[in-house]
Chain A
């Protein structure tokens, strides 16, 4: 990288050295593909300790103000993320805290809220979850039915949140509620809500297609919430939620960081070595006695994915080159849909290549790559649905970038 300042270069060298010397030992049990699939206490403890260590070494929240537990630097987070990805170390556990709560609080929070909440997001001392989706409010997120009614200095909350990732480990939730039925968008208010053993808050795990848990439903039944935990003004919840979504979908810089997840909780568990793994798999998968690495159709399909992967990488590079981008959001807004579908397509290709062996799942000792391919494929739908489903992403591209009329 030609354009690093001397301080940044020094930081990069320090990061490389530190990561080499502090690579964590193997996890006590198999880790899931991304943080939003973390299921067990063993996985949680391991990942929480790792995030804390990385934070204390100065690789998380690098560009956040010192007053909020950050490093107070400029342009360090990008470097730290790159080095963390490159080192192939485990992902960060507190993705919602890092990439959604922290940047949203930084924009919309009071001084007190920033000091109170941001450090815990960065260090993983407090795990966060996101209470946006409801049974009737998915893609149409403004259709919130969870009501918050004012009661003195408090609010009384009633409602039903679903698909709440990490809810089972969380102390805090970024929560959208309806505070007025008169306006769809302007009737929303955003809170930072305590959810760990709170009276009136029930968290129940939901089981996914893969057979794993990881997300939850959260019931609010006359739960009491202090007005001190309201983020920004009453009725401004939609605007605040939009801030969260720009970070969630990876279209904005400034998230808390943490490498492998590279800013978003929904990069589809993009595996940088996916192509190499596919090639190896094709060498060891046979049809009629011949390896699939000799089959032209399989070869074409693998190379096609390699090109998509290279394109993602070069898009990220070009997005920063003003004269080679026509519309500032054109490349950033593509990232989510392209990377999650890439993950899905490569996983599916792995299933195809594994053939008969793709029937073998996690527990089977003969399963190629410990059952990674069918698991990754099934799991990939979580990412093409969460955080703005692919269809919604294509609407957004067509409407915001190409200026086509709105679908809704």
Chain B
């Protein structure tokens, strides 16, 4: 359980110091100024037919993303010696919370996730890609099978090793996040020699990127087909991929959870504001306890998730043996907070909340996507139960 020895050695303030605060506040201001809700709405939800009938991908603000790159966002998780910021995960969580709060469409989360995996790989090939990321490249993980499993064992991309140390990839990777914003992919494959992680460029011959038609308007997703894609030795990142990915898993769960905390807080504040101003029966609806109490409950849920996110991030930063458990707790709490606040944000807005006009739908969908991404609350708790109670049937 969560009270092992090394937790006491961790900083009481989670390691969230002035530097982390400054960066978080800068991100908050940048996103508030550059992509306020009116702008986001124009960008991603001009009309429903564009995405849901004609199947086009929602727009995103590439110019703003360029600005973020200049501010070093792609390199946040890249070690300093490789040209990155080398920020603590606690600091990254702070910034990602703001990204969630703004529902900012960008390849930030996918690139952070790839950076965690590459850092764990630690090979010269991984470091070369980390340097590219620090310089502005976006990379996404292609590691998921058709059922949505991230276990290496069931991966549906196969490699055959070449004599020069490279390989040829064939098969498919599913649910690849922000694939159309990525410059390259980090692909998990299996072969007779075990699991590999390889770099495949987005324009590389033999790679086909097929858009998934998702409901979330603030990101894109795709299925990648590998038809004899040739990987040079210099693009082979790891021959020990299953272990590498699993070591990065806690950090990946933390950032998705942080994004969920941000969207949930937006939902809480926006719905609260509506409850303060919308009048029925001659009173603001927030007077009624059937409206007030769920908002109080929502606050409790977001705060639980937020505290657990920083705790988990702090555990990862300090190499605590509790990191995995803490990260799963954070994801469970964040998914549940997101689910609850999404539900109440629509319901408590009444009829208008059920329309395309009302911005809550944008957050509702981003949150719903995040809730299931890398496992919802039920999934995390079943994994936690294996640790805390033991496997079933032994």
Chain A residues within CB distance 8 Å of chain B = 1-3, 275-276, 279, 282, 293-294, 296, 299-300, 302-304, 306-308, 310-311, 313-315, 317-318, 320-321, 323-324, 330-331, 334, 337-338, 391, 393-395, 397-399, 401-407
Chain B residues within CB distance 8 Å of chain A = 1-2, 8-9, 11-14, 16, 20-21, 24, 94, 268, 272, 275-276, 283-284, 286-287, 289, 291-293, 295-297, 299-300, 303-308, 310-311, 326, 329, 332-333, 378, 381-382, 384-385, 388-390, 392-393
With both beta carbons as reference points, the residue of chain A lying nearest to B14 in the complex is identified as A321
CB of A397 within 8 A of CB of B385, answer no
CB of A394 within 8 A of CB of B289, answer yes
CB of A303 within 8 A of CB of B381, answer yes
In the complex, what distance in Å separates the CA atom of A406 from the CA atom of B8?
A: 41
With both beta carbons as reference points, the residue of chain A lying nearest to B326 in the complex is identified as A310
In the complex, what distance in Å separates the CA atom of A37 from the CA atom of B305?
A: 33
CB of A391 within 8 A of CB of B385, answer no
CB of B292 within 8 A of CB of A310, answer no
With both beta carbons as reference points, the residue of chain B lying nearest to A312 in the complex is identified as B304
CB of A311 within 8 A of CB of B307, answer yes
In the complex, what distance in Å separates the CA atom of A323 from the CA atom of B272?
A: 22
B interface, over-half SS: helix
What residues of A have a CB within 8 angstroms of the CB of B275 in the complex?
404
What residues of B have a CB within 8 angstroms of the CB of A405 in the complex?
276, 283-284, 286-287
The contact of A398 among B295, B303, B332, by CB within 8 Å, is B295
What residues of B have a CB within 8 angstroms of the CB of A391 in the complex?
289, 293
In the complex, what distance in Å separates the CA atom of A304 from the CA atom of B24?
A: 30
CB of B333 within 8 A of CB of A282, answer no
What residues of A have a CB within 8 angstroms of the CB of B8 in the complex?
1
The contact of B333 among A276, A307, A321, A393, by CB within 8 Å, is A307
In the complex, what distance in Å separates the CA atom of A391 from the CA atom of B296?
A: 10
In the complex, what distance in Å separates the CA atom of A3 from the CA atom of B12?
A: 8
CB of A320 within 8 A of CB of B297, answer no
CB of B14 within 8 A of CB of A317, answer yes
15 further interface pairs, Cβ-Cβ under 8 Å (given A337-B300, A405-B276) = A2-B12, A279-B388, A306-B329, A306-B384, A311-B333, A314-B308, A318-B306, A321-B310, A323-B24, A331-B303, A334-B299, A398-B286, A401-B296, A405-B284, A405-B286
In the complex, what distance in Å separates the CA atom of A397 from the CA atom of B284?
A: 17
CB of A310 within 8 A of CB of B306, answer no
CB of A404 within 8 A of CB of B392, answer no
CB of B393 within 8 A of CB of A304, answer no
CB of A302 within 8 A of CB of B385, answer yes
What residues of B have a CB within 8 angstroms of the CB of A314 in the complex?
304, 307-308, 310-311
In the complex, what distance in Å separates the CA atom of A407 from the CA atom of B12?
A: 37
Q: Give 4 closest A-B pairs by Cβ, nearest first.
A: A311-B304, A314-B307, A404-B286, A299-B385
What residues of B have a CB within 8 angstroms of the CB of A398 in the complex?
286, 292-293, 295-296
Q: Which of B21, B304, B393 has the most CB of A within 10 A?
A: B304
What residues of B have a CB within 8 angstroms of the CB of A315 in the complex?
303-304, 307
A294-B393, A315-B303, A402-B295 known; A307 vs B13 contact (CB < 8 Å): no
In the complex, what distance in Å separates the CA atom of A407 from the CA atom of B289?
A: 7
CB of A404 within 8 A of CB of B276, answer yes
CB of A275 within 8 A of CB of B1, answer yes
CB of B272 within 8 A of CB of A403, answer yes
With both beta carbons as reference points, the residue of chain A lying nearest to B286 in the complex is identified as A404
CB of A394 within 8 A of CB of B307, answer no
What residues of B have a CB within 8 angstroms of the CB of A402 in the complex?
268, 272, 286, 292, 295-296, 299
Nearest chain A CB to B265 CB, angstrom units: 8
CB of A293 within 8 A of CB of B283, answer no
CB of A304 within 8 A of CB of B381, answer yes
CB of A401 within 8 A of CB of B299, answer yes
Nearest chain A CB to B307 CB, angstrom units: 4
A403-B272, A404-B287 known; A330 vs B16 contact (CB < 8 Å): no
Nearest chain A CB to B55 CB, angstrom units: 37
A391-B293, A404-B275 known; A311 vs B299 contact (CB < 8 Å): no
CB of A394 within 8 A of CB of B292, answer yes
With both beta carbons as reference points, the residue of chain A lying nearest to B275 in the complex is identified as A404
The contact of A296 among B297, B305, B382, by CB within 8 Å, is B382
The contact of A293 among B306, B382, B384, B389, by CB within 8 Å, is B389
A299-B385, A302-B385 known; A395 vs B289 contact (CB < 8 Å): yes
What residues of A have a CB within 8 angstroms of the CB of B303 in the complex?
311, 315, 318, 330-331, 334
What residues of A have a CB within 8 angstroms of the CB of B389 in the complex?
279, 282, 293, 299, 302-303
In the complex, what distance in Å separates the CA atom of A14 from the CA atom of B291?
A: 50
In the complex, what distance in Å separates the CA atom of A300 from the CA atom of B380?
A: 9
CB of B300 within 8 A of CB of A334, answer yes
With both beta carbons as reference points, the residue of chain B lying nearest to A324 in the complex is identified as B16
What residues of A have a CB within 8 angstroms of the CB of B392 in the complex?
294, 296, 299
A403-B272, A405-B287, A407-B287 known; A310 vs B299 contact (CB < 8 Å): no
What residues of A have a CB within 8 angstroms of the CB of B329 in the complex?
306-307, 310-311
Nearest chain A CB to B207 CB, angstrom units: 39
What residues of B have a CB within 8 angstroms of the CB of A318 in the complex?
14, 303, 306-307, 310
The contact of B296 among A293, A302, A323, A397, by CB within 8 Å, is A397
Q: Which of B24, B307, B311, B326 has the most CB of A within 10 A?
A: B307
- Would you give 25 A-B contacts (Cβ < 8 Å), ordered by A? A1-B12, A2-B12, A275-B388, A294-B393, A296-B385, A300-B378, A304-B332, A306-B329, A307-B329, A313-B2, A314-B308, A314-B311, A315-B307, A317-B14, A318-B14, A324-B310, A338-B304, A398-B292, A402-B268, A402-B292, A402-B296, A402-B299, A404-B286, A406-B287, A407-B287
Nearest chain A CB to B393 CB, angstrom units: 6
CB of B292 within 8 A of CB of A407, answer yes
What residues of B have a CB within 8 angstroms of the CB of A303 in the complex?
332, 381, 384-385, 388-389
What residues of B have a CB within 8 angstroms of the CB of A306 in the complex?
1, 329, 384, 388
With both beta carbons as reference points, the residue of chain A lying nearest to B288 in the complex is identified as A407
The contact of A321 among B16, B24, B272, B378, by CB within 8 Å, is B16
CB of A307 within 8 A of CB of B306, answer no
What residues of A have a CB within 8 angstroms of the CB of B9 in the complex?
2
What residues of B have a CB within 8 angstroms of the CB of A395 in the complex?
289, 292-293, 296
What residues of B have a CB within 8 angstroms of the CB of A401 in the complex?
296, 299
CB of B308 within 8 A of CB of A404, answer no
With both beta carbons as reference points, the residue of chain B lying nearest to A319 in the complex is identified as B307
